Amino acid sequence: MKSAYSLRRPVANVYLVRDRDRRLRRDLLAMLAVALPLSGAVLAYIWLSSQVWNVGYEVLRLERVLEQKLEQERQLTLEAAELSRHERVEASALDELGLAELGPDSVVFAGELE
């Protein structure tokens, strides 16, 4: 169903000229000039706050890793101290390697070799 507004009629006024509304364009550009920096600032704030949260979570994760590494270092230090005890090294040399204790007559000084 066609209405009176949907029909195209010839214009009877020949002096009537359709012109662009320059004020509308200027208003749109002014609104864009205000809206774009504001929206950019809001997006930058959101991005920065998300980065702060991500860095915070990363710091917490790295602190947990550091605690694990420190505990592992403590355990390895204790193990190294246990393995390098003089009595243990001596017993290992005697039993596993078949070495014997040196007596006073077994020592030869470098000056005596000549």
Mean pLDDT, residues 33-50: 96
The rounded distance, in Å, linking the Cα atoms of 14 and 20 is 18
What are the boundaries of each domain within the chain? 22-98
- Beta-carbon count within 10 A of 93 CB: 13
Most confident of 8-22, 29-43, 93-107: 29-43
Mean pLDDT, residues 40-56: 97
The pLDDT value recorded for residue 43 is 98
The rounded distance, in Å, linking the Cα atoms of 20 and 17 is 10
Look at residue 7 and tell me whether its pLDDT is greater than 90: no
